[in-house]
Structure formats: structure tokens, C-alpha cells
């Protein structure tokens, strides 16, 4: 489970960076940032339960 969360965090970070680098894809940066934060919170909550 922790491996899946790590992979998702890396994926969202890459999407965010692509969105920032390509200015026309700013929406991609916003979506990537939101998904990154949501995944980090979800992973933290899963870790607290264990």
C-alpha cells in the first residue's frame, strides 16, 4: 500500500511540473497539486490507522 502511495505521489509531482513548465497547461499543474495533496493526506491517514 505504501508503494502505491509513493508511486502516485511521484506521478502527481511529475504532472504538476509538466503543467508549470508548459504554461499553456496550467490546469494540469493545478490538478496535479490537488491530487498530490489529496494522496499525501490519504497516505498519512492510512499510516495512522496501522
Give me the pLDDT at residue 50, please.
67
Query: What pLDDT is stored for residue 5 in this prediction?
Result: 86
Model pLDDT for residues 1-50, shown as the tens digit of each residue: 778 888 989 998 998 888 888 877 888 888 889 999 999 999 999 888 86
Kindly state the cell numbers that stand for 39: 494522496
CA 50 to each of CA 6, 18, 44: distance values in angstroms, whole numbers, following the listed order: 17, 34, 10
Domain locations in the chain?
2-49
Sequential DSSP letters for 1-50: -HHHHHHHHHHHHHHHHHHHHSGGGHHHHHHHHHHHHHHHHHHHHHHHH-
Say what the pTM is. Answer: 0.76
**How many angstroms separate the CA atoms of 38 and 33, rounded?**
9
Residue 26's pLDDT is 84
Amino acid at each position: 500500500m505504501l508503494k502505491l502511495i509513493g508511486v502516485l505521489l511521484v506521478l502527481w509531482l511529475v504532472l504538476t511540473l509538466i503543467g508549470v513548465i508548459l504554461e499553456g497547461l496550467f490546469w494540469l499543474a493545478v490538478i496535479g497539486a490537488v491530487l498530490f495533496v489529496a494522496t499525501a493526506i490519504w497516505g498519512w491517514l492510512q499510516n495512522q490507522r496501522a
